[in-house]
Amino acid sequence: MPQQQKKRKTTTDMDAFVAAALASKPPGKSADAAKDRYASPLTSRYASEEMAFNFSDANKFTIWRKLWLALAACEQKLGLDISDEALKQMAEHLYDIDYTLAAAEEKKRRHDVMAHVHTFGVAAPAAAGIIHLGATSCYVTDGSELTMMRDGLDIIIPKLASCIDKLAQFAVTYKDLPTLGFTHLQPAQLTTVGKRATLWLQDLLMDLRNISRARADIRFRGVKGTTGTQASFLTLFEGNHDKVEQLEEMVTEMVGFSGAYPVTGQTYSRKVDLDILSTLSSFGATAHKMASDIRILASLKEIEEPFEKDQIGSSAMAYKRNPMRCERVCSLSRHLMTLIGNVQQTAAVQWLERTLDDSANRRVTLPEAFLTADIVLSLINNIVDGLVVYPKVIERRIMQELPFMATENFIMFMVKNGGDRQTCHEEIRVLSHQAGRVVKDEGGENDLIERIKKTPYFAKLVPHLDELLDPSTFIGRAPQQVESFIKKEVEPALKPYRAILAAGVKQESINV
């Protein structure tokens, strides 16, 4: 009894010790200070370095300074009193941004653009009085966002073209391999592995068309002033309309845009964001559908995504080969598809020349859309590059269903050889139902062919069974459709990107 009491006391002490540990708070900041703050998994875990940098503060604020430099340089060329030294100092300090000073200024002024105007002026004192001359905040905020979206699409488009190219090669490789088709997720007429891949390809081609069009349509906001009337610039140039127009054209060209939106309010129309993100959201639907199909095929053990040598499919079930890449594609694609609702609402409620309730959510939505689309593309490229096909499993599943699908061919053969159609139909119907009961009620294999072989009525048919059951005779024009589709649709669409594809599109390693 004393021993039992001692044991209970020890257990009670341990319970208290564990409870205290669970209730405790961290003793202080961790060794890695960055770990003490939330970081978006999009950048900390998944994103490519190039896309993460594209939407970084370092890139954004550098673009601001370049926009201010371009504006000042063009204003000087058109006759405003701006010194060469001012431009020189601005050009020398595009990248050495004092973020501590900028943060202190923003805390004091409650205005991020003016905080960075002041910070830039400290770095380039000769230019302090002319930085942002005639401009409104949206000159740099909208200008940088349009630049980042333009450059973001330039990252995305080659990766999309690469994915299409790889999937096209896969489709050609397996254009002749019969596989069981599915409608309503129920066995249907045969198709081929390559033909099924063209269904994914066709959607991706639509995305390439849509995203490329959106990229071509992006313009610069231009130098429009506070409500888009260019009144401030007209004042600077003493009523000279021609110089105001020249200024906008010169700045637009200098910062790398082919044109500016002809009219704006204080901001460019948020319909532009909706236009661009609609294409990314649509791509998200394509990616989700494709990855879902591969997940279904993986569950059937017909096709698998790449699986690393030391990869663990499950912490408990060691045998598992979970389609984690495709699951991640579906997960992130759902996020990508939902972002469009925010952009639609923002575009709808921009009252008159503008309202500031677009600012905070666009800081989140625009980068996340591009980061997510980029991550999904990297995943799909990795998946397509290493898809594993199991022809024997596919063949076995075909043969489980093909006897039923071939019954019409059996009837036609018997009629051509003197049989009565109605009599043959009844014989086949009875045997098919018997075989169906074996499959469904007893869990056995489809034995319809064996039953036919044992039935005297079908004696003439038996020697021709292999011919009549050849899966390649059930796939219609699937191989020819693949060849035609690649030649007429895929190759022309990829032609503008052949040089880029030949040089190799940068692909991020996948965090598995």
Active site residues: 184, 314
Confirm if 471 and 190 have CB atoms less than 8 A apart: yes
Alpha carbons 161 and 496: distance in angstroms, whole number:
10
Single-letter amino acid code for the residue at 206: M
Tell the burial category of 208 from Cβ atoms under 10 Å away from its Cβ (0-12, 13-18, 19+).
buried
What is the distance between the terminal CA atoms of the chain, rounded to a whole angstrom? Answer: 54
Six-digit token pair at 446?
């489809």
Place of tokens 């759902």: 334
138 vs 271, 293, 422, CA distance in Å?
A: 16, 44, 79
- The pair of structure tokens assigned to 21 is 């540990």
Residue with tokens 């901001």: 267
Answer yes or no: are the C-beta atoms of 241 and 61 closer than 8 Å: no
Cβ atoms of 444 and 438 closer than 8 Å: yes
Instruction: With CA atoms as reference, report the closest residue to 260 among 220, 228, 233.
Output: 220
**Alpha carbon distance 393, 323 (integer Å):** 18
Q: Specify the long-range contacts of residues 37-42, CB closer than 8 Å, at least 24 apart.
A: 40/368, 42/368, 42/371, 42/372, 42/375
Give the C-alpha distances (Å, rounded to integers) separating 459 from 166, 203, 371, 454, 464. Answer: 48, 48, 65, 8, 10
**Strand 303-304 relative to strand 178-183: parallel, antiparallel, unpaired?**
unpaired
Cα–Cα distance, 75 to 82 (Å, whole number): 8
Compute the distance between CA of residue 347 and CA of residue 293 in angstroms, rounded to an integer.
Answer: 34
Q: Which two tokens stand for residue 74?
A: 């063009």
Residue 507 makes CB contacts below 8 A (sequence gap 6+) with 159, 162, 378, 381, 382
CA–CA dist 72, 143 (Å, integer): 15
- Residue 322, classed as helix, strand or coil, is coil
Instruction: State residue 350 phi and psi, 5-degree precision.
Output: -80, 95
- Report whether 452 contacts 410 (CB < 8 A): yes
- Long-range contacts of residues 148-151, Cβ cutoff 8 Å, at least 24 apart: 148/54, 148/55, 148/59, 148/60, 148/63, 148/366, 148/367, 148/370, 149/218, 149/276, 149/366, 149/370, 150/215, 150/218, 150/257, 151/54
